[in-house]
Amino acid sequence: MVVRIRLARFGKKHAPFYNIVVAHARTARNSLPLEVLGTYNPLPQPPRPGDTHGRPWKDIQLDISRARYWIGVGAQPSDTAWRLLSMVGILEPKYRVGQVQGQVIKADSAYKSLVPPPTAAATETVAST
């Protein structure tokens, strides 16, 4: 049976809280897993005190070495688990929407800086011909 690394939702209504678990793929979401690797609190926490220009933050507890072990023996992370594990460098990032978008924007601006935008006179000459 496939072993997966996935999230199990705990917490109350409007207050989600996840356990990052290793479980067999066909067991129920909140059933007893093989192992609890950590937790993920998706609610952004307010900036920590003393942090003048602090940013909100999300709290994740993870046994990184154990996660690495499970990946090594063939556990398949779910998409969300993949995203979290890739942040600590256990896996290659799968979806790089932001990164690709950034690259597109960069390339676009580079192109614009090289090629000057068509002026009004140029467009007129094009229209007359």
Partner 1 sequence: MPPRLHSPNLASALTSCTSAWSQCIAQPTRISREFSQTSCQQVTARRRRFYEWINGPGAALRQPLPGSTNYLGAYDRYGNLVRASPGYQRRSKDQPKTEGEESKPDDTEAKAEEEEAPSGQDTIDELEMAVRRDEESARKTKSKEDAQRLAPETAEDLRPFPQNKFFRSQRVLSEDLREAIYQRVTKDGVTVSLASVEFGVSNERVGAVVRLKQVEKEWVAQGKKLALPYAKAVLDMLPTTPYVDPSLPENKGKRPITHEAINDLIVHPATRQQLFVPVAESRQFTRVDAGKAFDNNLLPADDRIPHPELVLAEREMATGLSFEERRRLAEERLAAEQEKKRREEEARLAELRAQKVVPKRRWDFVFKDVSVEHAGKDGRGVKGVGWRYGMPHEDRKKGQVKIPTKVKA
3-class secondary structure, 8: strand
Phi (first) and psi of residue 59, to 5 degrees: -95, 125
101: which DSSP letter?
A: H
Q: What angle do CA 97, 19, 24 make, to 5 degrees?
A: 90
Q: Measured between alpha carbons, how far is 114 from 116 in angstroms, rounded to an integer? A: 6
Q: Give yes or no for residue 118 binding partner 1 (CB under 8 A).
A: no
Q: Give yes or no for residue 37 binding partner 1 (CB under 8 A).
A: yes
| Binding window for partner 1 (CB under 8 A); candidates: 51-59, 74-82, 108-116, 117-125 | 51-59
| Binding window for partner 1 (CB under 8 A); candidates: 45-53, 72-80, 108-116, 120-128 | 45-53
Which residues contact partner 1 by CB under 8 A? 8, 10-11, 17, 19-21, 32, 35-39, 44, 48-50, 52-53, 55-64, 66, 84, 87-88, 98
